[in-house]
Amino acid sequence: MRSMICTVSRPESPPGRTVSRGGRDQLGPIERLVRILAVLEGAGKAGTTQERLLEVAGYGGASPDSQRRMLTKDITYLNQSGWDIQNVAGAGTEGRYVLHARDIRLRVELTPAEQAELARVGRLAGVDEFAEYVGTDAGPPEHPAAHARIEPKPAHDTRLPLCLVAAAQRQVVQFMYKGRPRTVHPRVVQPGPSGWYLVGWEEASRAEKFFVVDRMRNLVLDRPGSARAGEENAPKSLDPATWDVDPPTDVEVETVPEFVEQVKLALHPVIEERTDGERAMLTVRVTNRSAFRTRIYALGTRVRILGPGDVRSELVDELTRLAEQK
């Protein structure tokens, strides 16, 4: 009870009645809240009746309906202060209130969405007791219109926690990525330019790749220990243009002096550069053709591919497919 009493602060507008500025009246609402909490705590999981709470609250000569409304205000105020008091009685029956054991510091300092996320992580880690301790009754905010439709909250995004678990327990991960199914042996999860990345060895390409977690779909984890061990000489770069996905190919592109630095920054590594004053020809070593084409699209008319022909053909074919899809 000591911690409980210390955390009941004096309400600015005490629920239930108006309090004068001086004298013992200022303690009245606080004492009433403490009495309500004491009875609820003593009742445990069985809870206590509305009639008992009305009795200990001592609302004076108010009518029964007024007393019930005042009790509802007091319980609402306590819940807003971090307590978790729920009416577990069925519809049409006398109210029965239960005080759940929660950490009120978390309920005051964290938003409902943050509480729910913390509890979810606790369950994911297998600590159900912690999830219960935090509390998981967070829901959508009450709409200002009494009977307006409330849009449901979106489901929690579990992709990042699942990737962290997979990397920690060496679990093979299967998911959809850029329209294709992937089977990956995770090595690590780390931040990068596009958010969080899952780094691991992909079975189809037989190479280690970087996958943006937010772009994954339909994640499924295999049993712990099913993933192969990470290689010591695994690539450290987060730039997909430098990944060894395809056989190295030297590609020649053309631009104007005004855009040379932009092209070099986007298409590195540049192994040769020539200029005649009006044009600049750059030779770029490409090891990831998909990433290379993406960079070319971003540069637009500032650059033109001179060769080889198969690289030009791949780009034209991809653009044709995209146009047909529209």
User: DSSP characters for 181-214?
Assistant: EEEEEEEEEEEETTEEEEEEEETTTTEEEEEEGG
Confidence of residue 150 (pLDDT cuts 50, 70, 90): very low
Q: Which of 81-90, 149-158, 211-220 has the lowest mean pLDDT?
A: 149-158
Sequence spans of domains, the chain: 2-100, 105-134, 170-233, 249-325
Contact between 157 and 219 under an 8 Å Cβ cutoff? The reply is no
Pair of tokens at residue 196: 């969080």
Q: How confident is the model at residue 253 (pLDDT cuts 50, 70, 90)?
A: very high
Mean per-residue pLDDT over the chain, rounded: 74
In the predicted model, is pLDDT for residue 72 greater than 90?
Answer: no
pLDDT in tens, 9-39: 444 444 444 444 444 444 567 778 778 877 8
DSSP secondary structure of 72-99: HHHHHHHHHTT--EEE-PPTTS--EEEE
With a pLDDT cut of 90, the percent of the chain lying above it is 9
List the beta bridge partners of residue 183: 174
Asked if CATH classification 3.40.50 holds for the domain at 249-325, the reply, yes or no, is no
Q: What angle do CA 34, 22, 67 make, to 5 degrees?
A: 45
Would you state the structure tokens that stand for residue 102, as one six-digit string? 């929660």
Determine the Cα–Cα distance for residues 261 and 10; give it in Å rounded to an integer. 65
Phi, psi of 8 (to 5 degrees): -90, 100
Residues 6+ apart with CB under 8 A from 35: 56, 57, 58
* Angular region, 196: left φ>0, alpha ψ -120 to 50, beta rest: beta
Q: Which among 299, 307, 300, 301 has a CA at the least distance from the CA of 281?
A: 307
Indicate the helix (H) or strand (E) that contains 255: strand 249-255
Both structure tokens of 283: 């030779």
Specify the amino acid at residue 229: A
- pLDDT of 174 above 90: yes
Token couple for 234: 């695994």
For residues 93-115, b (16+ Cβ closer than 10 Å) or e, as one string?
A: eebbbbbbebbbebbeebebeeb
Q: Which residues are 221's β-sheet partners?
A: 173
If you average pLDDT over residues 214-241, what whole number do you get?
75
**Residue 182's pLDDT is what?**
93
Residue 271 contacts residue 250 (beta carbons within 8 Å): yes
8 A C-beta contact, residue 160 and residue 176: no
Q: How far, in Å, CA of 65 to CA of 54, rounded?
A: 11
| CATH code that applies to domain 2-100 | 1.10.10
pTM: 0.33
- Among 249, 259, 260, which Cα is nearest to 292's? 249
Q: Which of 204, 205, 211 is nearest to 187 (CA)?
A: 211
Q: Which of 13-17, 31-35, 127-131, 211-215 has the highest mean pLDDT?
A: 211-215
